[in-house]
Amino acid sequence: MTEWLPIETAPKDGTKVLLHCDKFVPIVCEWHGGSWRNIWGEFESTWPSKWKPTHWMPLPPSPQKPLDDEGCPRLFGRPW
């Protein structure tokens, strides 16, 4: 697992990352138009002042579904 990194090193290219904010749970955000925006579309300027981002980490990769011999996802043991 990746360690928490200082917020100053976070990517500012629209990449979604996990932010740690003071006095709040980690949240998925992206840098957009000069400010952090959370997954609900709320910009940092509208967050309570206690939600100051201090650290970040990359999101883990999405889980992969097993594929059958033809490369199709297997759901419940059957190709769909």
Residue 40: inside a domain:
yes
Dihedrals phi, psi of 34, to nearest 5 degrees:
90, 10
Q: In which domain, by residue range, is 35 found?
A: 1-59
Residues 20-60: pLDDT tens digits? 987 778 889 999 989 899 888 888 888 777 778 999 999 98
Q: Please state which of the ranges 20-24, 67-71, 75-79 shows the lowest mean pLDDT.
A: 75-79
Residue 75: inside a domain:
no
Residue 49: inside a domain:
yes
Residue 34: inside a domain:
yes
What's the predicted TM-score (pTM) here?
0.70
Structural domains in the chain (count): 1
Residue type, 15: T
The better pLDDT of the pair 62, 13 is held by 13
Residue for token pair 């290219």: 13
Residue 77: inside a domain:
no
